[in-house]
Every structure is written in C-alpha cells, then in structure tokens.
Chain A
Amino acid sequence: MSFLDSLAAGLSLVGNIEAFLALFVGVAIGVVGGAIPGMSATMAVALTLPFTFAMQPITGILLLLGVYKGGIFGGSIPAILIKTPGTPASSATILDGYPMAEKGQAGKALGMALWASCTADVISNLALILFAGWLASFALSFGPPEFFTLILFSLTIIAGVSGESLLRGALSALLGLLLATIGLDLVYGTNRFTFGDPNMMGGLNFIAVLIGLFAIPEIIAMVWHPTAHVGKARSLGKNWVTFAEYRRCFKSIVRGSFIGVFLGSIPGIGAAPSAFLSYSEARRTSKNKENFGKGEIEGVAASEAGNNGVAGATLIPLLALGVPGDVITAIIIGAFMVHGLQPGPMMFILNVDIIYGLFIGLIVSSVFLFLIGSVAIRGFKYVADIPKRILIPAVLVLCIYGVFAVNNNIFDVGVMFVMGWVGYLMVRYHIPAAPFLIAFILGPLLEDNFRQAMLMSGSDPTILFRGPITWFFWSLTVLTIVAIARAGVRAVKASRFLPEDPTR
C-alpha cells in the first residue's frame, strides 16, 4: 500500500463527526481532569477507558489520546494559579509560573504555557509520524529472542528511572511480572495460582488492575487525610502573552520539544524528567538565567514544551514495537487490546488504516488543544471550586461501573479493590506503580517470547545472543543497570557524609 493509499484509508476512518467529536471531548475531559489537583492525567485516562468500550476502535483510542494530551496541558493551569501541579509532569512549570502569577502575570504565564504546549505537541506528533513507521519496518525482522531482549531492556529502564531507587523499581516490576503469571500456563495450559476459581483462569483483568492501582489509592489517601488543602486561585491579570515574547522563547520551545521527543521515545522516562531537563537547559543557555525561578516566561515555555513534547513521542515505541512508553500509554494499550488490536510492527501491515487515522487525529488534536486550552484558562476557577470530598466518592462509583463494564463481572470489582490497597501500600512505601503496571502488561509477552526462543533452539540459551540486535539490547540493558546502580551507590555515599541525626 502506498503512502497516499494509507493516508486515504486513514482519512476514511476518521473523516466523520464521531471521531472528531471524541477527540474534542477527550481534550476537554483531559484539560479538566488535569486541572483538578489530585486527579492527574493518568487517572483521567484510566477513568475514561471504560466509556470507550461501546465505541469504534479508532473513536475510542482518539478519545483517550485527547484526554492524554489535554491532561498534560491541563496540569499546568493549577501549577501556575495555585502552585499545585495538576499532574506530575507540570511540577517544573511551578518554578516560574507561580512567581509570574504572584506578580499579576498569570494570564501571560498561562498563555505562554498554551502556546508552548501546542508547538511542542505539533513537533512531537510529526516525530511520531516520521519515526514510528521506520521503527516498525525495522522491528519486522525481530524474532522471539530479539523481542525478549527488547522487552527486558524496556523493563530495566522503566524500573530504573521511574522512582527514587532502582531496587524499589525492580521490586515493583518483579511484583507485576509475578501477578502476570496468574492464569493458565501459556504453553501447557496448566493452572498457575488460580486456586481452582474459573474467574482466575484467564488471569487478572488488566483494566481492574490499572484502575485499582491508579484511582483507588487516591481515594484511600483522601480517606486517610481528608483535609487536602487546595490553595486560592489567583486572578489572570490583564497581561497576555505577545508574539514578541513567543518569538523570544521559540528557541527554548523547540529545544524543549526535541528533548521531549527524545526522552518520550525511550520507554519509561516520561514527561516530568523531560520538563525538568528542558527547563534546566533553557536556564543554562538563557541570557536571563538569573531571572529563572523568579518569574521568567522562558522557564514556563521550556518546561511546558518539555512535557508536551513527550505526549506524541511515547506513542512511537507503543505503535512501532508494542512497548508502552509510560503509564498513560500502558492504559492506551489496554484500549487497543479491548478492541482486539495488538500494537506492534504487524499493526503497520494489518491495520494501517487505524495507524494513519491516529496520525490524522493527532494532528487535529493540537488545534483542539489550543481552542479548548484558551477557554479552560478562563474557566479554571469553576473547576477549582469542585469540592474534592464530593469528587472522590464520585470517582469511586465511576470506578465500580467502569470495571464491571469490562467483562460484566463482579469479581473484577473485587480485584480492583484489592489492587487499590496494594497501590496504596506502594504509595506509602514509595514503590513506583509504573513499573508494576508495565511489567504486568509486558510479563506474558516476555515469558512467551522467552519460551518460544527456547523451543526454537531446543533449550539452548545462546539463542538469546544470536545476532547484532540481541547484542545491542543486552548491551543497553547492562549499561542501564550499571548507570542506575552507580547513581544509587553515589546517593548512598553522599548520605553517609551527612551528619547523624542526634534523635536516633
């Protein structure tokens, strides 16, 4: 199929009012969800997922992508107006956004956040369109040993960079892999941890696990500490961002977008580190570096470009290799699976219309983000006024309906509750949830590819080192482990030089 044929197929799939309406509504939900402190873009995507079951695959996936993109931008609104990031990716925006709001320039900061987000979004989407197909065609030559080493590398990097400690990340990933072993064995069909319960034979439902892991812990945390404080929203002020200011920040925006694209295309890193790296690079190269942290508009532009640059790029490994780049794309892979689609290189052959439909939708999403973002900035005070202690029970009820709707099964609601407590314990013990969920998704693939490789070779492990691709991923895995372990050892050594606490 030629490029034009693929484009036409994609256009025929999304060229209808439902697809664009879903995208528009998705961006709106995402902006509102991201703007509510304590809700986050991840939770907004997870809660929207059950509503996509009744839709056409492309419509449902566009709705979720809209929520993702809207959520990442929406998080910057409370970051600037009330010094509380709506989503972790917006933490860097506080550094200069809130001081600007204190100076009465909140409107200017929000305007720049919007322009930078939309610019980065366009660059990120273009990167996805250019690189995903190329990577997928390369991945078509992968066999089970190559996929095994690729998934192992992805899990290593996700476990290593998702939290404060490699060991806690590794523990999280191992728990996710162990949970994925529940169900019937992939080769022999024997029972593994099913306890004779037919509900367990298909394994634990992915959506019950993810909603349990990402939405229920927020509810339990609210129960533990109900008086969550939300600051007072500042007024927008009379100033608005000018074209001259946008032009002055353009270099930082483009640089931040490329940082976002690069970090987003590596599984596991995510939007928050990208925003901080983009911010520090902008400060390092700026003529006004002494103003950073005191209300410098370039700081807002850089951090917002950094986090939004990730949004399209995280879909590169998802679509091309079937490996989710972060937690939100891990949820989106669930939407693909619910509709019987398996992201990966074969999707570029079997479902090229969906791939190109998504590309078209993503380009349009940047326009919707700009339109909805402009309105949301002015309407934020209404969102901030929603009482959180009414919102939380509503989220709980939504979770119950959503999880039940997956399989019409009350057992899944129970799985969600149990995973909610597991997720809460993980929050209390600072165990990152992202490696757990991604390992839970990739676990069966990892095991399946390993066993297929062993079957191919007659159980000879050297097949896992059979060519340059496997060697490449093994080298990356070892390098990643060494780099993260060295950073951990340095941190422990640094803590030894600190004075002892006399109270101990």
Chain B
Amino acid sequence: MTQRQMQMRLGLGAIIAAAFLILYAIPQWISSPSNVRNIVLSPLFWPYALAGFTGLAGLGLVASGARLRGPDTLVNEPVQDTGAAWMRLAGMAVIMVATMFLLPRLGMVLTSMLVFVATAFLVRTRHPITALVCAVIIPLVLYAFFAHVAGVAIPQGEILRLP
C-alpha cells in the first residue's frame, strides 16, 4: 500500500462511516426524549456533530491524497509470504473468538494455558519446551496473584478448580 492509496482509503472509509452514522446508526441506536426543546442539549447533537466532522476529515483526506505526488514508496514493511501471514492473522482471530467461548466454560487458567500454547506455536516459536513450561506456570502465577492477593474472582470452569 502506498502513501496515496492509504490516504484515499482512509478518506473514503471515513466518509462511508460518517454517512452510515448520520443516515442509519444515530437515528436507529440513539434515543432522545421527545420533550428536548433545544437540539444543542439533545443526546443526538454530539454524535451528529462528531459524525459530521468525521465526514469532513474524510473529505480532507481524499483531497490531500489526490494531491499527493512523488515516489510511490510502500508505507509498511512487506512480509515474505503474504498468504501465510494472512493465515496466521486468521488463526489469531480464531484464538480470540475461542478464548471468549472457552473462558466461561474451562475457566481462565486452563483457557490461558491453551491460548499461550496456541499463540506460541502460531508465531513459530523456536523454544517449544520452554513455551509449554511457561504456558503452565504463567497462568498459575497470575491466578495466584489475582485470586489470592488482589481478591479477584477468577472464573474457575467445570474441569479444573484451583484453591
């Protein structure tokens, strides 16, 4: 992605987001009492104003992107295998969704152990044994601190119940 592409995409994204907010999201998802006499004091005023400014910022980004010249150098460092990189990103998203699903069921300690192992192998660790040892120790140490020192009710889950 070049500087110009980035600026244009951002600008268009901001304009679309502003249009979505003004035309759909704010009327649909913000409720305002019918007896508010002055629009300035209404709960709708601030979101409308911010959405309007977002649209203006988007227009500004498109305009400045269109005026950009000069060498089209890439703005981000490229990776060697883009396909594999996208797969890893998808894997990370799956880990996060799975975390949300498993936290109330397996408890925080077991889920964290699984998350640790999955993430370490996703980033292709060169120390698998160390990763496994850390995956067990770190969640247990954190559990000990938060549950017994900070007094936080860490979810225990159905399989493993720690003291």
Residues of A within 8 A of B (CB): 50-51, 53-54, 165, 167-168, 170-171, 174-175, 177-178, 181, 185, 187-188, 190-195, 219-220, 222-226, 387, 389-390, 392-394, 396-398, 400-401, 404-405, 408, 410, 413-414, 417, 420-421, 428-431, 447, 450-451, 454-455, 459, 461, 488, 492, 495-496, 498-501, 503-504
Contacts and interface: CB of A to CB of B under 8 A. Distances in A.
Given A190-B31, A397-B142, A408 B116 contact: no
A396 B119 contact: yes
11 contacts: A170-B53, A178-B21, A178-B54, A191-B31, A225-B79, A393-B123, A394-B116, A401-B139, A488-B64, A492-B64, A492-B68
B23 interface: no
B61 A171 contact: yes
Contact of B10 (A54, A168, A500): A168
B24 to A, nearest CB: 12
A191 to B, nearest CB: 5
Given A181-B46, A498-B71, A387 B125 contact: yes
B89 interface: yes
Judged by DSSP, the binding face of B is helix
B158 interface: no
Given A219-B119, A405-B146, A54 B47 contact: no
Given A394-B138, A421-B93, A461-B40, 13 more contacts: A51-B145, A167-B60, A171-B10, A174-B53, A223-B92, A223-B119, A224-B88, A389-B125, A390-B125, A390-B131, A401-B108, A420-B96, A428-B76
B124 A389 contact: yes
B126 to A, nearest CB: 7
A220 B88 CA distance: 9
A171 B115 contact: no
A170 B36 contact: no
B116 to A, nearest CB: 5
Contacts of B91: 223
B65 to A, nearest CB: 10
B25 to A, nearest CB: 7
B159 interface: no
A390 B134 contact: yes
Contact of B127 (A387, A394, A396): A387
Interface string B18-56: 000100010001111100101011010011001101100
Contacts of A396: 115-116, 119
B54 A397 contact: no
A253 B66 CA distance: 44
8 tightest Cβ-Cβ pairs between the two chains A and B? A54-B150, A498-B70, A185-B43, A393-B119, A495-B70, A226-B123, A389-B125, A417-B96
A404 B154 contact: yes
B33 A405 contact: no
B16 interface: no
Interface string B143-163: 101100111111100000000
Given A167-B61, A191-B30, A454-B41, A177 B50 contact: yes
Nearest to B36: A188
B16 to A, nearest CB: 13
A370 B89 CA distance: 42
B99 A178 contact: no
B123 A222 contact: yes
A413 B131 contact: no
B112 A400 contact: yes
Contacts of A408: 152-153
Nearest to A395: B119
Contacts of B116: 393-394, 396-397
* Residue of B14, B72, B123, B151 with most chain A CB atoms under a 10 A cut-off: B123
A273 B10 CA distance: 26
Interface residues of B, number: 81
Contacts of B36: 188
Contacts of B155: 404, 410
A304 to B, nearest CB: 28
Contact of B142 (A192, A389, A392, A401): A401
A221 B32 CA distance: 41
B99 A389 contact: no
A451 B50 CA distance: 15
Contacts of B41: 187, 451, 454-455, 459
Given A54-B150, A394-B134, A410-B104, A181 B47 contact: yes
B67 A496 contact: yes
A51 B145 CA distance: 9
B115 A400 contact: yes
Nearest to B32: A190
Contacts of A226: 88, 123-124
A423 to B, nearest CB: 13
Contacts of A194: 29
Contact of A223 (B51, B64, B89, B154): B89
Nearest to A181: B47
B67 A393 contact: no
B120 A390 contact: yes
B47 A174 contact: no
A16 B10 CA distance: 52
A224 B83 CA distance: 10
Contacts of B30: 190-193
Contacts of B69: 495-496, 498, 500
Contacts of B21: 178
A410 B70 CA distance: 48
Contacts of A455: 41
A175 B146 CA distance: 33
A175 B54 CA distance: 8
Contacts of B146: 50, 401, 405
A188 B10 contact: no
A275 B15 CA distance: 37
Contact of A397 (B9, B32, B126, B138): B138
B70 A167 contact: no
Given A193-B25, A410-B100, A171 B58 contact: yes
A168 B135 CA distance: 39
